[in-house]
Amino acid sequence: MCNYCDNKILVWELNGHWLGKCTKRPSMAPCSRCGLAIPLKQLKDHMSNADCLDVSLDEGAATCPLCRQCVQNTDDGWIAHLLGDIQHGYRKSKRRIKAQKWSDTA
Ligand SMILES: [Zn+2]
Ligand SMILES: [Zn+2]
Ligand SMILES: [Zn+2]
């Protein structure tokens, strides 16, 4: 879900959405360290802040736009991250995925 335009956007697509398609966002630029789209006015503060996580040296890594943690930038990596302990609002789908797995093996 995009904070700005209320469209339903997948978490791992939020960053690209903010840098491109979102019509209601403020002016944003990608942070050169963590790769997240940050509002231009906040970019300086952001880079001197602890929530800027430097993943620029790690090709397979991305930063989660919700919790600002380092995530393996693959579908599996994102799903594992989103279904982890941190609250991302994905708890319902966790149950659904589990139920699916059980019915697959039954
Ligand atoms: Zn948007
Ligand atoms: Zn950053
Ligand atoms: Zn996260």
Q: Which residue has the tokens 């630029």?
A: 29
- Which bound ligand lies closest to the C-alpha atom of 77? 3
Q: Per-residue pLDDT tens for 56-77?
A: 888 899 999 988 888 999 988 9
Q: 60 in a domain, yes or no?
A: yes
Whether this prediction's pTM lies above 0.95 is answered by: no
Assign 39 a pLDDT band (cuts: 50, 70, 90): very high
Helix 11-19 to helix 75-82 angle (10° resolution) is 110
If you measure from the C-alpha of residue 35 to the centroid of ligand 2, how many angstroms do you get, rounded to a whole number? 6
Q: 43 in a domain, yes or no?
A: yes
Query: Is 62 in contact with 12 (CB distance < 8 Å)?
Result: yes
CA distance 7 to 60: 27
Mean pLDDT within 20-34: 94
Q: What is the amino acid identity at position 19?
A: L
CA distance 60 to 28: 23
Mean of pLDDT over the chain: 84
- Structural domain boundaries, residue 76: 11-105
Neighbours of 21 (CB within 10 A): 13
Assign 85 a pLDDT band (cuts: 50, 70, 90): low
If you measure from the C-alpha of residue 34 to the centroid of ligand 1, how many angstroms do you get, rounded to a whole number? 20
Take residue 106 and report the two structure tokens written for it: 């039954």
- Which bound ligand lies closest to the C-alpha atom of 4? 1
CA distance 96 to 106: 15
* Overall domain count for the chain: 1
If you measure from the C-alpha of residue 70 to the centroid of ligand 1, how many angstroms do you get, rounded to a whole number? 22
Q: 3 in a domain, yes or no?
A: no
